[in-house]
Amino acid sequence: MNTIIDKIRSEFHREANAIKDLKDLEPLRVKFLGRKGLLSTSFDRISELPKEQRPLFGKALNELKKELENEYQNLIKQFKAKEEQKRKLDLTLPGRRPFIGGKHPLLIVADEIKDIFRSLGFSIEDGPEIENDFFNFEALNIPKTHPARDMQDTLYVTDDILLRTHTSPVQIRVMQRQKPPIQMIAPGRVYRRDTPDASHSPFFHQVEGLVVDEGITFADLKGIIQAFAHRMFGEDVKVRFRPSFFPFTEPSAEYDFSCVFCKGRGCRVCKNTGWMEISGAGMVHPNVFKAAGIDPETYTGYAFGMGIDRIAMIKYNINDIRIFFENDVRFLNQF
């Protein structure tokens, strides 16, 4: 009696396991649970058993029937869920593009600047953003009384340690460790105590340039700046130098590029001057050479600064420096 029950159960399981499709479930139901199925016909054979075994067998069959009906319902549920999933999975749909990051516009411009100077024979140097007073001011011939040293302009960590206010300290670091000829640029972040507005940010980015050798002149400086302007903004860009003052260069100048938007005719961007201010430059001051251990009688050199943010703003026609540091993906995705 029990062997019949077990046989039906294991046969049901064997066949159920082999089923791969919803439509194959119905034959399973017919074979086991149908009106002429294995369970029904077993019920019919109860009369063949001795009287005292009939109730027990009937009970066992009933329980098996419930058990298999339950399992059958579960199978239906399983297969329906699978079908549903298959219907949702449309293999003809185009795939989802993975979201990939990109280079920040300032990095793109910094890379471009580096490429240009590398092709002109410059090495790329690096220096710390947390500097000593010596490298940021003292060695650059910036006297104790200079306004840049004021707490109002510089972010100090201690009396002697500060966040560098320009990339010029890298000049000193490189001259201390390397004998001339030196021909280097040093891109990096700098810090100043400024209240943020469209053209000021408490941190921004500069590229320092330094060339030291025997017989270097101001004409070499002009040539390099001109070559850079042409490669960065095109052959028709003009460069002009205006006399200026920096403690670490003598003579000193500020240099401008003709406005790339109006070609020098005058527009809103260049405030009708036709020129865009870029940064400062000049011949290395003898005191700077002395502080860095280079003989000013033998060597001369020039140095220049360059604002990466400023150049990026010109290149992409951006009128607010703060947008670089907000990390708004709608802005960043455009590059």
- CA dist 242 and 191 (Å) reads 25
Residue 288 in the binding site for ligand PHE (CB under 6 A): no
- Give residue for tokens 């009128």: 319
Nearer to ligand PHE, 142 or 270 (CB): 142
Helix, strand, coil content of the chain in percent (nearest 5): 45, 20, 35
The piece of 13-21, 112-120, 274-282, 312-320 that touches ligand PHE (CB under 6 A) is 274-282
- Give residues 167-206 in contact with ligand PHE (rule: CB under 6 A): 168
Q: Which two tokens stand for residue 47?
A: 């009369």
Nearer to ligand PHE, 39 or 211 (CB): 211
Residue 280 in the binding site for ligand PHE (CB under 6 A): yes
- Give residues 302-331 in contact with ligand PHE (rule: CB under 6 A): 303-305
Tell me the residue type at 92. Answer: T
CB of 334 to ligand PHE, least distance (A): 29
Residue 137 in the binding site for ligand PHE (CB under 6 A): no
Residue 281 in the binding site for ligand PHE (CB under 6 A): yes
Residue 279 in the binding site for ligand PHE (CB under 6 A): yes
Q: Residue from 180, 264, 282, 301 that binds ligand PHE (CB under 6 A)?
A: 282
CB of 304 to ligand PHE, least distance (A): 5
Strand order in the sheet with 300-304: 123-124, 182-191, 203-213, 300-304, 275-284, 249-258, 239-246
Q: Residue from 32, 246, 255, 299 that binds ligand PHE (CB under 6 A)?
A: 246
Residue 228 in the binding site for ligand PHE (CB under 6 A): no
Residue 264 in the binding site for ligand PHE (CB under 6 A): no
Nearer to ligand PHE, 169 or 264 (CB): 169
- DSSP tag of 52: G
The piece of 175-183, 195-203, 258-266, 278-286 that touches ligand PHE (CB under 6 A) is 278-286
Nearer to ligand PHE, 42 or 249 (CB): 249
Residue 149 in the binding site for ligand PHE (CB under 6 A): no
Q: Using CA atoms in the order 257, 111, 121, 240, what is the torsion angle rounded to 10 degrees?
A: 10
Paired sense of beta strands 182-191 and 123-124, if any: parallel
CB of 282 to ligand PHE, least distance (A): 5
User: Buried b vs exposed e over 51-89: b needs ≥16 C-beta within 10 Å?
Assistant: eeeeeebeeebeebbeebeebbeebeeebeeeeeeeeee
CA 156 to mean position of chain CA atoms:
29
**DSSP β-bridge partners for residue 200:** 197
- CA dist 232 and 230 (Å) reads 6
Kindly list the residues in this chain that would bind ligand PHE in the complex (CB under 6 A).
166, 168, 246, 249, 279-282, 303-305
